[in-house]
Structure 1
């Protein structure tokens, strides 16, 4: 926006180049016009260079935007991979935690089994103590029996017992008694052997179970330690991925901010380029108008010299014939005069009206008030004569005051119907020539022509005159 105001100021300067001050046209004023034309062409070359530079900067900005956009795509792709890896690591950590919990449960169960086995060992040790006492008693009994047998001759003693029977019944009783003794001895020996075997098996079984449980617990502890190490590694990798994700997000933010800056710069460059294009168009029109003005000034200078030689023709009468402007519309209905008034749109009082308003409904033609050169034309959308809508600005050299001196004036025709302008900058028009149609463009409350007359070039209120003082009745 600041650039726009700066270049609007330049446009004003350009208009001052095209429209020289309202002095009498002389050889010196023609030289001034030529000087201004040269300065304007130099300014146009400068703006052309600025436009070329702006176009190059736009191309560089587009290339940079494409580069940053690709970087953002690459970072986003890397972010997707990192997020997937983070999810996988989290799944691995979850599985590892579940495995650790399972192993911890197994360890607890094994520890319980070990405790139960230790209780069984205590109970078994008690049983072993009883069994060993019983074995010891039997061994003592067996030793005594063995000593008795050895002392009495073994089987001979049993025979002597049998032979010492007094009767057959006594013999049978002695046989039965010997048999029982022998059976008891055999039973004692068998039980002794069975108890020893059972003792050995029980001890071996308990020791084997204890060794197995101890080995299982050691294995589970190792598995748990290994899983905890694995979990620590996964957590470290997860943290690395999280750090990488944070770095990538920071890079994304940085690239996104850079892209926003580039887009803002691009918009400013585009606006700047459009402004330069408008300036180039105004300059082209201004150069053409200035060239026409120089040509017209030369012709008028020649005509003035020719008229000076015609002594028989009164100069003042001839000049006074050129002092009246042609009525600029096909209707003569004036709805708002020149001077202070209440603004018809804002309602603001004491607003100065720099022209007159001529209004009528229906089709109304607009005419050039005098012969001259079209300095510029504007439309409602080009942003240069905003409130005026479609506008035509014409430069004339006439004897406005009837004193024999031709001077430069400017006439302005505003609020024209869109698309009806029949002339363009640089065109030479004739007095009374149709140039447009009455309309309602710009800041307007209805169809009308806003018509202004200015001394020299158009400078708003400072250069304005009351058109009714110079229009033909």
Structure 2
């Protein structure tokens, strides 16, 4: 994963020329101390930049968490709306069922009324036929002609009229009942249509709400991915912070080691001067002064074996080091410190496996070596090692396809691609070692 953090180029090019150039020892010590202090100061500046970026990542994670809370609340609201809609759908379906049952009941009543009307209509027709027929049924004409007096006739006419009127009233009532049932039936059908439309609208609303929930779930999934990415970036930045801190401490240890070495050399020079003066006084030949400590920047081969992979593009990406294979050898193959320095990292990682990183200070600049995929490690963080010291055994740990040593050299601090966007300060180890 690429990062915008600028970790490359912490090493400073110092135009001092060769350290073999004659200069006072004290001036040389002061100058080298200044160089180391400048290295440490630049690392401290990078730490400050890193802390600012870590703060930004933490703020971004906080913002994402707030967005997630908002999305969760919206999903809960939509879930509640879906539940409410489903409840309304169930209620509407129950109402539709009741309405359909009411329509069936009204239709049954209408059928019964129609049968009653039909029967009474037949009865009325039978009565009308009795006006013209004689026999078992007394006709309205016989009733009228059987009157014994005029008053009796008037009474019988009134009675017959009453019967006829009653039959008419019954017919009107039946017709009114049928009309009312028809109207009720139409009203219920209208209600049923409204309820069915309402059900369709509720179904549409539920589909819409479910779609919104799906969209919110997508947003939540995106936020989860983004949050995971931010955590990974934050973890990477914190790892860089730990590495910068170890480099800062390693540089300070180099300063202390250099100062201690200068004190020892100064003491040797003082004793040599005393010996010289004593020899002059006694007329004898003084012993030669101790030779100056010169570091020409040379690295030794960190192990033995055959070169199996170079510093070049491999499998579609850059291979920022060289590989030295075990080549079928039995037993442990030792790994040595390519130059003296301070251990800035010694741990097990998923990619490098067992890895050791050493900070060196050579010819006025910081350099870093990396030894990966080790089977065993014999040094710890902040140990000081000398060139050629045994630091581990060749192995096959981490992202490795066979026993070998993966060896990297950086002109400056270790700067992996996932932090800085590229190993821009990684150099070809074959410029310093030979295989």
- TM-score by length of structure 2 reads 0.69
Alignment of 1:364-403 (within 5 A): 364-377=333-346, 379-381=348-350, 386=351, 388-396=352-360
Question: How far off is 1:270 after superposition?
Answer: 0.9
Query: Which one of 171, 175, 190 corresponds to residue 214 of structure 1?
Result: 175
Contact 1:455 1:465 in 2 (8 A): no
- Aligned to 1:441, what secondary structure does the other structure show? coil
How many Å separate the matches in 2 of 1:33 and 1:245? 70
How many Å separate the matches in 1 of 2:311 and 2:57? 45
How many Å separate the matches in 1 of 2:411 and 2:213? 61
Q: Residue in 1 aligned with 2:305?
A: 335
Which ranges in structure 1 are unaligned for 5 or more consecutive residues? 147-189, 399-404
Contact 1:24 1:406 in 2 (8 A): no
How many Å separate the matches in 1 of 2:209 and 2:320? 62
Contact 2:10 2:39 in 1 (8 A): yes
Determine if the alignment matches structure 1 residue 292 to structure 2 residue 256.
no
Which ranges in structure 2 are unaligned for 5 or more consecutive residues? 20-27, 134-138, 273-286, 415-424
Q: 1:88 to 1:196 in 2, by over 3 A?
A: same
Query: Which one of 368, 371, 394 corresponds to residue 438 of structure 1?
Result: 394
Question: How far off is 1:135 after superposition?
Answer: 5.5
Determine if the alignment matches structure 1 residue 467 to structure 2 residue 433.
yes
Which stretch of the first structure deviates more once superposed, 92-101 or 118-127?
118-127
Contact 1:357 1:451 in 2 (8 A): no
How many Å separate the matches in 2 of 1:38 and 1:258? 44
Alignment of 1:262-341 (within 5 A): 262-298=223-259, 312-313=288-289, 315=291, 334-337=304-307
Q: 1:421 to 1:24 in 2, by over 3 A?
A: farther
Q: 1:288 to 1:126 in 2, by over 3 A?
A: same
Structure with the higher fraction of residues in helix conformation: 1
Q: Residue in 2 aligned with 1:17?
A: 10
Q: Residue in 2 aligned with 1:162?
A: none
- Aligned to 1:417, what secondary structure does the other structure show? strand
Q: Residue in 1 aligned with 2:284?
A: none
Larger radius of gyration: 1
Question: How far off is 1:228 after superposition?
Answer: 3.8
Query: Which one of 380, 384, 387 corresponds to residue 423 of structure 1?
Result: 380
How many Å separate the matches in 1 of 2:189 and 2:401? 85
How many Å separate the matches in 1 of 2:39 and 2:294? 28
- TM-score by length of structure 1 reads 0.65
Question: How many aligned positions are there?
Answer: 391
Q: Residue in 1 aligned with 2:280?
A: none
Q: Residue in 2 aligned with 1:178?
A: none
Instruction: Give the aligned CA root-mean-square deviation in angstroms.
Output: 4.7
How many Å separate the matches in 1 of 2:200 and 2:57? 48
Q: Residue in 2 aligned with 1:69?
A: 72
Contact 2:342 2:358 in 1 (8 A): yes
